[in-house]
A and B are shown apart, each in its own frame.
Chain A
């Protein structure tokens, strides 16, 4: 990040990134923008680029944006830290988390 791009900004609302887009795969079709019932996203002013996450903290983690994305791998779900499910291997006892 270059110095000229350091702005004085308020804190970022959390959780901030309910999904992450893969810019190499996302076609910018905005299907997720229209699917999301909450308007978490807005279309990117640059046509063909992934949408912009605007109202991240309003997400209800319904997953519809990811489920209905026509391009596999373009839109990936990103559980906020406190919501990541946990499990344990029955044999080894190893505990893991998403």
Chain B
């Protein structure tokens, strides 16, 4: 037997719930620093805080060992310009990376300054970051002395800004490359992070979702002094009292996807990501920004193929794309010949489409593995794809099924898959406003990794997590003692356990689908005040009519039900932010039909949004509100001691 149905057939009854049911039973945990979210940034935050000698608790919805988007692995350690092979200055590179209107200059500066130290600490813990077995001798970018494998990404150009000379002979010569990105064996990372948490005495609460933050005197906007959690196996209610709380959960992606049977289908982010952290902070009175930035996500969302099961997905290093007749297509291959460019030159996609219509290119397209140099082929398949997130299992199953990189072309889904509404997503830019301590606008509350606005990649999550952990730990040293407000706890308890007290009603999947329908119709491509307000009304109707009927028969379904409530709140924040931005904005992919012009002078700014006495308030922050990145970083980090000395 393997499935539930087989068990039922063989045993004549369903299995009993395997964990002790403890709906509403309380556990109180006292700590100094509480970290919510045990992915990459949360683990690093917990470790960094514990290394400062304070008590740390870490709450994770899954199991820290493999949870989060970086749980299965990561192949690129991006923006490590402090590495010995780099040809660029970390501060200058940070400014270069931040040369976009909407980005997070604070996080980027931290990443560029501390990312390489973070990587060396990863190696101390047991993570593999070098080609120590000499598997890839002779591969481009491999340094024989350090055994680092430099990635083609950001070779001589910015990988997101295509260059017209890409692919020409002599473009991207080895002696001019920036050498800022390192290929790593990221499948080894998450288990060693958990081990280090344990070694340092971090109290790890696996299978617990954070549900709310607790404010001083229970007042929205007042200092955050703790949080509540729900155990998704037992239904136990956890109450944390802490001197500082670090949020390290991530965005919400599936709000537009009207089938929760496919929630994990093509996702490149963990299925557990449902906006809980941002919503907790929102209700606690913290300020968010970029929430109106949503759009069609090109890869790994909706009902598309699983990321990398088709050739041509982003990061397909060095694999040339060819048409059905073997003709090379003019796409950059994120390889050495085009300096790691990840996006085609403007107009390329349209030119290829027209050529297809004229019959000059024939569908489908393929990734031409055999055309690659032997060692590059192996480095891409065995290192890059095997270590990168969910692609590891793809490589394993394809190898077992007889796929041969030396002989086979891998099918690409470009064009034949199309773009449609279910591909709409939150884009990942929305998040909490932070200062140079990674503190949010509410005292006692910090945000790291993808919890901040405009986040970046795995190593960004690691470096900012480590930084936020350090800062939060420093803050608790002179924080006083605060009493939790029982009324706030009771209200949360009532909200959380309401679905367990009903015999019949609506299950979480249907509620989710109701929400996604509202998002598809009213909060997607065609945005007007009328449509957005209809979306808001529809969600409010769901809250008034459907939520009181929500049922959950076991703790797992209760957890999914609470996630729905988070997503509904998250959706409302998106709508409020979209209503407040009264100007289309091509840089954010934000189109308002009723405000088609991009009034750049007035509207090129961060729109902020928060709750004050449960009323929505919007405001603005100028682009680059963080000031001079180098100066600010140095002013805030005079005591930074670099790589951790083990044994401390």
Contact = CB atoms under 8 A, between A and B. Distances in A.
27 contacts: A5-B12, A23-B1, A37-B67, A37-B71, A39-B232, A39-B556, A42-B15, A43-B18, A45-B15, A45-B18, A52-B1, A53-B2, A58-B263, A60-B263, A60-B270, A61-B265, A66-B396, A67-B396, A68-B65, A84-B309, A85-B394, A85-B403, A85-B410, A87-B403, A90-B368, A96-B402, A98-B397
Interface string A58-98: 11111110111000000001010001111111110001111
A61 B264 CA distance: 7
B310 interface: yes
A13 B407 contact: no
Interface stretch (B96-104, B385-393, B424-432): B385-393
A16 interface: yes
Contacts of B179: none
A98 B66 CA distance: 25
A9 B408 CA distance: 43
Contacts of A98: 397-398, 401, 403
A15 to B, nearest CB: 8
Given A39-B556, A96-B401, A9 B8 contact: yes
B411 A20 contact: no
B393 A67 contact: yes
B4 to A, nearest CB: 5
B401 A1 contact: no
Chain B contact residues: helix, strand, loop or mixed: loop
B63 interface: yes
Nearest to B3: A53
B249 to A, nearest CB: 13
Contacts of A54: 4, 15
Contacts of B207: 39
Contacts of A63: 72, 390, 392-394, 396
Contact of A88 (B3, B15, B68, B411): B411
Of A34, A37, A54, A85, most buried by chain B (CB within 10 Å of CB) is A37
Name the 4 nearest CB pairs between A and B, nearest first: A63-B393, A37-B62, A60-B264, A60-B271
B306 interface: yes
Contact of A7 (B8, B260, B267): B8
Interface of A: 1, 5, 7, 9, 12-17, 20-21, 23, 34-39, 42-45, 49-50, 52-64, 66-68, 77, 79, 83-91, 95-98
Interface residues of B, number: 61
B366 interface: yes
Given A37-B271, A88-B411, A90-B368, 18 more contacts: A12-B3, A16-B5, A37-B66, A38-B264, A42-B15, A52-B3, A53-B4, A57-B262, A58-B264, A62-B270, A62-B393, A63-B394, A67-B393, A85-B305, A85-B398, A85-B403, A90-B407, A96-B403
Interface string B60-94: 01110111100110000000000000000000000
Given A45-B18, A83-B306, A62 B72 contact: yes
Contacts of B267: 60
Interface in B395-429: 396-398, 401-403, 407-411
A77 B396 contact: yes
B282 to A, nearest CB: 24
Contacts of A37: 61-63, 66-68, 71, 270-272
A95 B260 CA distance: 31
A62 B66 contact: yes
Interface of B: 1-5, 7-10, 12, 15-16, 18, 61-63, 65-68, 71-72, 187, 207, 232-233, 260-267, 270-272, 305-306, 309-310, 366, 368, 370, 389-390, 392-394, 396-398, 401-403, 407-411, 556
B435 to A, nearest CB: 31
Contacts of A55: 556
A74 to B, nearest CB: 11
B15 to A, nearest CB: 6
B3 to A, nearest CB: 5
Nearest to A80: B265
Nearest to A49: B1
Nearest to B65: A35
Nearest to A19: B2
A21 B2 contact: yes
A43 B594 CA distance: 55
A63 B7 CA distance: 23
A67 B61 CA distance: 20
Nearest to A43: B18
A56 B411 contact: no
B366 A88 contact: yes
A90 B408 contact: yes
Nearest to B187: A67
Contact of A77 (B187, B264, B397): B397
A44 B409 CA distance: 41
A90 B393 CA distance: 24
A10 to B, nearest CB: 10
Contacts of B260: 57
B25 to A, nearest CB: 20
Nearest to B265: A83
A59 B271 contact: yes
A48 to B, nearest CB: 13
A49 B272 CA distance: 27
B15 A52 contact: yes
Contacts of A58: 263-264, 271
A1 to B, nearest CB: 7
A5 B272 contact: no
B306 to A, nearest CB: 5
A87 B4 CA distance: 33
A65 to B, nearest CB: 9
Contacts of B266: 83
A64 B71 contact: yes
A96 B408 CA distance: 10
Contacts of A57: 260-263
Contacts of A39: 62, 207, 232-233, 556
A17 B6 CA distance: 11
Given A62-B389, A98-B398, A17 B2 contact: yes
A35 B18 contact: no
A82 B378 CA distance: 27
B410 A45 contact: no
Given A39-B232, A39-B556, A90-B408, A52 B261 contact: no
A63 B264 CA distance: 12
A11 B1 CA distance: 18
